[in-house]
Every structure is written in structure tokens, then in C-alpha cells.
Structure 1
Amino acid sequence: MSGLLPQLILVGVAIAANNLTVSLALGSVAPKAVWPRILTVFALFEFGVPLAGAWMGRHLAGMIADHAAWLGPACLIGLGAATVGIVQRDRPDRDRLAHSLTGWGALMALAAGLSADNLLVGVSMGLSGVPPLALSGTIVTCSVSFAWVGLVAGRRAERNWGRAAAIGSGLILMGLGITGLVGSV
């Protein structure tokens, strides 16, 4: 298991990078009161999806592989565009839009999109004999930690640089999404 630990940590960090980026954007628009909701939804998906993937076979991996390449990037582009759009509105509209981005349904859709590649990671590592609970535990620990850091950093950036920070976060998300789409072609 000791030789497996560095591999698990690298996978956890790589997967958590998406959560960090998305949380930067959410932290710049979301009230602190909804952070537990954001972290809970991310945690559920980041634990459950790789766990399910590790227990599934090659058949499902083949079906998901066709969609995983575009689903995650499309979610990032959508969130980035919404973030930039929110900043362009006056404060009351911005608050309403921020609330809609952090509602349970929106967060679940976002987390599902971000977790599409986690299913493939779970399947591939599960086929390699990696214990499913060790894989999911590592991924959820890294992802929730990175998401919390992203929320805090996004909030601080919004306070210090306001509109520019939120626009920057949105553009970064859109850029990551576009890079993901271009890389999958």
C-alpha cells in the first residue's frame, strides 16, 4: 500500500485542480453561508463517482468515454460565462444570480459535470487493483480541501479586486473549458 500512496495523492491532486478553479469562481460570487452546501455537494460527487467507477466494468467506461471529454469542459465554460455575466449586472441581480449558481440543483449539475472524468479514473484504477475506498477517500480529501481553498481565495480576491477578480475567474474557467474541448478533439 505504501507504493500506492504517492500514486493516489497524485491522482487526488490532479482531479482536485478542477474543484479549486471552480471554487475560485464560486467564492467570488457566493455568500459564505452557502459554502457548506458547495463543499457537501462536491464531497458527495468526488467520493461517490470514483467509487462507483472503481466498481464498474469496462462496458460503462466505454459509454462514458464518449461524453467525458466534452461534459467537464462544457460545465467549466458555462460556469465561466455565468460568472462573467453576473459581474456585468448591478448588485441585486448579481446576488440573485449568485444564489441560483449555488442552489442544490445547479451545484449537483456542476459537480456531476466535473466528476465525469472521475468515473473513468475510478474504472481504470479499479481495474488496476486499486482499493476503491482508498481511491475515493484520497480524491474526496484532496477535492474538498482544494475547493475550500478556492472559496476562500475567491472571496478574498472579490473583496480586494471586486469585479476584476470575478471576471478573471470567469475567463479562467472558460479558458480551461475551451482547452479541455480542444484537447479532446
Structure 2
Amino acid sequence: MWPQLIILGAIIGSNNLATALAIGACGTVERRWRVVAVFAAFEFTIPLVGLWIGQRASQTVAEYVSWLGPAILIAMGLWITISAFRAKDNAEKLAERVTSWRGLITLSAALSIDNLIVGFSLGLGDIDPLSLATTIGAFAILFAWLGMRVGAYAQAKHRLTTKVGTGLLLIALGLAVATGSF
């Protein structure tokens, strides 16, 4: 069971890595612990909610929310890519908005939709809920911290290239999630 949970945690946490890379590339290193904490809270809690719903609801939930996560990732990617070509002040304001409590909660909720669906689908099986949530939460912490560090380093060295690249990465991630490729 542990190897499957570790693989699942790494796959689910990869969207946190991509997003944290983008946030770190925006120059928001001073808020990295806020990002890590909010991501971890959502990544731990949402699979438990999904498990609960999976035990009590039908697949209708997954059909109606499957578009929201990819749409927010694509919008954020477009926003970051466009802001890379604008004045630095605008990029800093965007970074402040994304890493505000409201921005992080909205972003984390969107990123956690896949966790809701995973928890929902596993809610019909015999996976230990706390093992699932802990594994996903641990990968969220690791990947968010790593993404913020690498993104900040890349931003310091190659600001424009990093922002365009991370914006395009988020767009690709959103499209991959939307098409079921990820």
C-alpha cells in the first residue's frame, strides 16, 4: 500500500510544485511559509473531504467540478505570462495578490480539486484516510517549499524567461488536467 500512496502523493503534489515554481518566480520568497502552510492544509484536508463525499455521494460531483481546477491554472498561467512583459510594479502587485491569504486560499482550493476527486474515488475502497491525507500533505509541503526555492533562484537569474516559462507551464498543466492527460 505504501508504494502506491507515495506514487499517488508525488503525482498529486506535482501541481503544487509547478504552482510554487511560478509563485517563487514572481519574487515572493518572503511569503514562502504562508504558501507552504496553505497548500499543506488544503492538500491534507481535501482528500478527507473527498473520501467522505465518495462514501456518500455519486459521480455527479466530479462531473461538475472537473473544469474548475484546470481553468484556474490556465488563467493563472496566462496572467503570469502576460505580466512578465509588463512593468515590474504590476508583476509585484500580482505576486502580492496571489500570495495574499485570499489568493492562496482560492488557488489552493483550485489545486485541491484533483484531491477531492481522488479522495472521492478512493472513498469507495479501503484506503486508510489519514494515510492518504498525510502522504498527499507531505508531498504538498515538500513540493511547495522546493518550488518556491527553485522559482526564486531562477527569477533572480533570469526574470523574464522564468516568468514566461512558468506561466506557460501552468497553462500546459491546466490543459493536461482538463484533457485528462495528467
TM-score, normalised via structure 1 length: 0.91
Q: How does 1:45-124 map to 2 (within 5 A)?
A: 45-124=42-121
Q: Structure 1 stretches of 5 or more lacking a match?
A: none
AA aligned to 1:133 is: L
CA deviation string 1:6-41 (max 9, x = no partner)? 111111011001000111100001421111111111
Of residues 168, 172, 182 in structure 2, which corresponds to 1:175?
172
| CA–CA separation in structure 2 for the residues paired with 1:31 and 1:183 | 31
Equivalence for 1:41: 38
- The 1:15–1:61 alpha-carbon spacing in structure 2 relative to 1, beyond 3 Å, is farther
Show structure 2 runs of 5+ residues with no match. Answer: none
Distance between the aligned counterparts of 1:134 and 1:83, measured in 2?
35
What are the equivalent positions in structure 2 for 1:122-137 lying under 5 Å apart? 122-137=119-134
Whole-angstrom CA distance in 2 between matches of 1:65 and 1:131: 21
Moved over 6 A (4+): none
CA distance in 1, matches of 2:29, 2:113: 27
Q: Tell me how far apart the structure 2 counterparts of residues 133 and 58 of structure 1 sit (CA, whole Å).
A: 15
Is the contact between residue 61 and residue 123 of structure 1 (CA under 8 Å) also seen in structure 2?
no
What is the identity percentage for the equivalent residue pairs of Structure 1 and Structure 2? 39
Q: Which moved more, 1:129-138 or 1:77-86?
A: 77-86
Q: Deviations over 1:36-56 (max 9, x none)?
A: 111111011100000111222
Shift of 1:59: 5.0
Count the aligned residue pairs: 181
Indicate the RMSD between aligned Cα atoms, in angstroms: 1.6
The aligned residue for residue 140 of structure 2 is 143
Tell me if structure 2 keeps the 8 A contact 1:72–1:177.
Answer: yes
Q: 1:86, 1:98 within 8 Å by CA — same for their partners in 2?
A: no
The reply on whether 1:25 has 2:22 as its aligned counterpart is yes
Q: Tell me which amino acid in the other structure corresponds to 2:129.
A: P
Cα distance in 1 between the residues matched to 2:58 and 2:11: 19
Which amino acid is the alignment partner of residue 168 of structure 2? L
Shift of 1:67: 3.0
Paired with 2:175 and 2:120, the residues of 1 have a C-alpha distance of 25
User: Is 1:11 matched up with 2:8?
Assistant: yes
CA contact (8 A) 2:26 2:163 kept: yes
SS where residue 56 of structure 1 aligns?
A: helix
CA displacement 1:114-147 (0-9 Å, x = unmatched): 1111112112223211111110000000111011
